[in-house]
Copies of this chain bind each other. A is one copy, B any other.
Amino acid sequence: MAQKVKLSTIGESLGVSTATVSLALRDSPLVAEATRERVKAHALEMGYIYNRRAASLRTSKSGILGVVVHDIMNPFYGEILRSIEMELDRSRQTFILSNHYDRVEKQRDFLETLMQLGADGVIMSPAIDTPKEDMDLLTQNGLPTVFIARSVPGVDLPVFRGDDKFGISLATNHLISLGHKRIAMIGGTDETSTGRDRYEGYVSAMRKAGLEVKDEWRIQGPRTKAAGFEAASQFLALPDRPTGAVCWNDLAAIGLMSGIARAGLRPGIDISVTGYDDLEEASIATPALTTVWNGQPEVGRLAARALLDRIEGKHTPDGDLTLIKPELHLRQSTSRPVEGA
């Protein structure tokens, strides 16, 4: 490869100082119009590549943003990420992504890497049981941070997420209004605040309607299609089997429906199923899934926007909770319970 082109290379070949070249390339009003153009043209011609790490060393701005989620292969996070990507595209920031798979050490490693790289900020959906100290590390190092979907108790940072209690009540009430009396809740875990909120929402909707809630109707765990599929047999084997299932998310719901179909029953007719998130996929599932839209694009967009604002010093108040209002999207996976069920 040819000798590396740097600011001074351009300067020398043009008979001006490095300072001028630097200023010119960044459109400073301190250099004359004519010079600026000569410099830019020359830089292009010589194949100059801006060295961000040198710049960042001097300015302590890296243009790097960190994003940490549970698992990017989960389309729920995928959709959020997509909208973060769009929002960031406009602002010349590069983002670095990591999954934590709910392992705090992996998450900590990544946060450390971000600090080493001098990241400008972090968007995170923290791992279960993330200790407050890990978050303190970030603030001590002056890393602006916002939470999406989840948060860490006792840590005062902006949170962007859907209103879980309300959202799950939409699904539960929908089944109740169709005439279902025995309704299970499948998937998710009480280890996250989101999990607890949704379970609470489900229970209180049931109670409000004067319906019984049984412990064995709560099948904790499933968050993926595979797990939902597995859970089907457990669900179907329930004594006095429920006629409806409110699922943790669309993935679990779709998996559950698959499992139900595999067992020879008709999801949407014999068993009503609701999802949560309204992934793109929900509408083409068989049957099309009744689900709760959870505002992924909004969450991503607002979180990214808020982070950029924080980085620019527009100090939005700490600990702000932004709740996106979920909406029920009716499709074919729910219907009146069959006679005598």
Chain A contacts to B: CB under 8 angstroms: 1-2, 47, 49-54, 56-57, 62, 64, 72-73, 75, 78-79, 81-82, 85, 94-97, 99, 112-113, 115-118, 139-142, 225-226, 229, 255, 257-259, 261-262, 280-281, 284-286
Q: How far is the CA of A112 from the CA of B51 in the complex (A)?
A: 11
Assess the A85–B73 pair: CB atoms within 8 A: no
**Which of A82, A97, A118, A286 has the largest number of chain B CB atoms within 10 A?**
A286
Q: Do residues B53 and A1 form an inter-chain contact, with CB atoms below 8 A?
A: no
Provide the bound-state CA to CA distance between A317 and B32, in Å.
49
Q: Do B286 and A286 touch (CB < 8 A)?
A: yes
Instruction: Please determine whether B281 and A1 come into contact, CB atoms closer than 8 angstroms.
Output: no
Could you tell me if B57 and A54 are in contact, using CB atoms closer than 8 angstroms? yes
From B2, B53, B229, give the contact of A118 (CB < 8 A). Answer: B53
Q: Which 8 A-B pairs have the closest CB atoms?
A: A53-B53, A73-B78, A52-B116, A229-B284, A1-B142, A261-B286, A258-B286, A49-B115
Of A73, A139, A141, the most chain B CB neighbours within 10 A belong to A73
Question: Within the assembled complex, what's the spacing in Å between the Cα atoms of A51 and B284?
Answer: 48
24 contacts between A and B (CB under 8 A): A1-B141, A49-B112, A49-B116, A50-B116, A52-B116, A52-B117, A52-B118, A53-B57, A53-B117, A54-B57, A72-B78, A72-B81, A73-B75, A73-B78, A94-B96, A94-B113, A96-B96, A96-B97, A97-B97, A225-B284, A226-B280, A229-B284, A258-B284, A286-B286
Q: Is the CB of A281 within 8 A of B53?
A: no
Residues of B within 8 A of A112 (CB): 49
A53 near B51 (CB under 8 angstroms)?
no
Q: Which residue of B lies closest to A261 (CB)?
A: B286
The interface residues of chain B lying within 8 Å CB-to-CB of A47 are: 140
